[in-house]
């Protein structure tokens, strides 16, 4: 084999590797049928008030700022994209981001529960990823708990007068990470360890999810900041309506 | 190039690097889902292989597991829908901005 041929073989091998790896990935969310029925029902019921609040919140925002619907669609699409990208992580397994931080910052946490549940239903039905029986639990972790933490951190950073972009970065990445903490706790509640109970098994699940998720949370933070910078440049009127950009303030 | 553009590009490069580096540094790693890792922990804790009590509806419909290729196709569709919506709306906003800037100049 001469040098050129070798290079072609190497390229072909790399190609195979990349595409052979991708379909094997099967990231987080609690798997279909992995939660006992009573837990599915409890988590589902817990979600209901948030979904209702989300519906009302979106309705109110849209009736006040008709044009914000563009931004809402973008926030929804952002969740769609980020939760479909499975990214390799330092632990040697893949996971994906949630993308819910952006919506939480722009529209408040309850609105995101609607965006999140749309994505989760899509993935549960078509992709066998997550599941219909675990929809309640997954909605709670990804579309409710995560966004609420994001929103809280964002507001806290505003109060503490931390640089806005740093605040957005922190909000999105910690919200993403928190989603996985909640998932771990949900699994732990359903499967308490025999010696040590819920806490021990929560730690075990966290040990699986957390290290994988940290780099992804950072990526999510960065992407959220990028999108917000983009929106600030091109969609100032809408953001003003949503109270994110206040006149001349940075 | 404006400062914002530079910031955005460098941020995107960092994000890309974080995503890609593990692929090169962890040679031979399997990169399975942390989902599977989760089910392993479940069986470790319960002490027996856990039997899911409900199979995904898609698998019931087609009578078997979703082929890997089809799964990646569906994931691509999901990404495509998202990117399409973002790109379309962003494009509209950019154009609107241009037109408004022009109008302001004329005034």
Q: How far is A193 from chain B (nearest CA, A)?
A: 6
Q: How far is B106 from chain A (nearest CA, A)?
A: 20
Question: Phi, psi (5° rounding) for residue A162?
Answer: -80, 145
Q: Which of B11, B34, B54 sits opposite A222 (nearest CB)?
A: B11
How far apart CA A70 and CA A137 sit, in angstroms, is 29
How far apart CA A146 and CA A214 sit, in angstroms, is 14
How far apart CA A51 and CA A110 sit, in angstroms, is 7
Say if CB A241 and CB A68 are below 8 A apart.
yes
DSSP letter string, A62-83: HHH-TTHHHHHHHHHHHHHHHT
| A129 burial via Cβ count (<10 Å: 0-12, 13-18, 19+) | buried
Model pLDDT, residue B1:
62
Chosen for mutation from A80, A198, A238 (greatest number of chain B CBs closer than 10 Å) is A80
Model pLDDT, residue B38:
64
Question: What are A175-222's pLDDT values in tens digits?
Answer: 989 988 888 888 888 887 777 778 888 888 888 778 888 888 999 999
Say yes or no for a CB contact (<8 Å) between B39 and A24.
no
Say yes or no for a CB contact (<8 Å) between A127 and B74.
yes
* 3-state SS class at A193: strand
- The 10 Å Cβ neighbour count of residue A122 is 19
pLDDT tops 80 at residue A168: yes
Say yes or no for a CB contact (<8 Å) between B59 and A230.
no
Question: Phi, psi (5° rounding) for residue B32?
Answer: -75, 175
Q: How far is B104 from chain A (nearest CA, A)?
A: 15
* 3-state SS class at B52: coil
Chosen for mutation from B11, B38, B80 (greatest number of chain A CBs closer than 10 Å) is B38
Question: A-chain residues within 8 Å CB-CB of B15?
Answer: 218-219, 222-223, 226
Question: What are A5-39's pLDDT values in tens digits?
Answer: 666 666 666 555 444 333 333 346 777 777 888 88
Model pLDDT, residue A17:
45
Answer yes or no: is the ipTM higher than 0.90.
Answer: no
Closest B-chain CA to A220: B15
Model pLDDT, residue A26:
37
Question: What are A137-156's pLDDT values in tens digits?
Answer: 889 988 999 999 999 999 99
* Higher-pLDDT residue of A109, B27: A109
Model pLDDT, residue A3:
67
Say if CB A64 and CB A163 are below 8 A apart.
no
Say yes or no for a CB contact (<8 Å) between B45 and A26.
no
Closest A-chain CA to B82: A77
The model's confidence at residue A245, banded by pLDDT at 50, 70 and 90, is: low
Give this prediction's pTM. 0.79
pLDDT tops 90 at residue A83: no
Beta-strand relationship, A86-88 and B32-33:
unpaired
Could you tell me where the DSSP H helices lie in chain A? 3-24, 37-64, 68-82, 100-107, 109-126, 135-138, 146-159, 164-190, 197-234, 236-241
Question: A-chain residues within 8 Å CB-CB of B71?
Answer: 23, 127-128
Top-ranked range on mean pLDDT: pick from A57-61, A63-67, A83-87: A57-61
Say yes or no for a CB contact (<8 Å) between B11 and A88.
no
Q: Which of A25, A74, A222 sits opposite B15 (nearest CB)?
A: A222
Question: What are A85-139's pLDDT values in tens digits?
Answer: 878 777 777 788 888 999 999 998 889 999 989 888 888 887 777 778 888 888 9
């Amino acid at each position: 084999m001469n040098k050129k041929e070798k290079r072609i073989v190497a390229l072909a091998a790399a190609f195979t590797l990349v595409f052979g790896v991708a379909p094997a990935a099967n990231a987080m969310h609690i798997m279909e049928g992995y939660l006992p029925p009573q837990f599915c029902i409890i988590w589902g019921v817990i979600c209901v008030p948030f979904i209702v609040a989300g519906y009302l919140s979106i309705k109110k925002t849209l009736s006040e700022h008709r044009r914000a619907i563009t931004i809402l669609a973008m926030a929804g699409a952002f969740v769609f994209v980020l939760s479909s990208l499975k990214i390799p992580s330092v632990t040697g397994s893949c996971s994906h981001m949630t993308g819910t931080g952006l919506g939480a910052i722009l529209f408040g946490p309850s609105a995101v529960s609607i965006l999140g549940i749309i994505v989760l239903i899509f993935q549960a039905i078509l992709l066998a990823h997550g599941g219909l029986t675990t929809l309640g639990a997954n909605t709670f972790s990804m579309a409710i708990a995560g966004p609420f933490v994001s929103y809280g951190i964002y507001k806290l950073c505003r109060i503490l007068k931390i640089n806005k972009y740093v605040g957005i970065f922190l909000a999105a990445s910690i919200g993403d990470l928190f989603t996985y903490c909640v998932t771990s706790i949900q699994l732990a509640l359903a499967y308490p360890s025999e010696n040590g109970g819920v806490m021990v098994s929560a730690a075990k699940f966290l040990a699986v999810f957390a290290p994988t998720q940290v780099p992804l949370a950072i990526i999510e933070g960065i992407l959220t900041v990028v999108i917000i910078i983009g929106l600030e440049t091109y969609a100032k009127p809408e953001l003003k309506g949503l109270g994110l950009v206040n006149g001349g303030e940075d | 190039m404006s400062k914002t553009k530079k910031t955005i590009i460098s941020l995107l490069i960092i994000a890309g690097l974080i995503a890609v580096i593990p692929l090169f540094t962890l040679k031979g790693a399997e990169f399975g889902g942390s989902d599977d890792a989760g089910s392993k922990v479940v069986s470790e804790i319960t002490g027996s292989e856990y039997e899911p009590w409900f199979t995904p509806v898609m698998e019931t419909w087609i009578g078997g597991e979703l082929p890997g290729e089809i799964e990646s196709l569906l994931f691509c569709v999901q990404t495509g829908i998202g990117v399409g919506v973002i790109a379309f709306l962003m494009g509209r906003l950019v154009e609107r901005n241009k037109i408004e800037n022009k109008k302001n100049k004329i005034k």
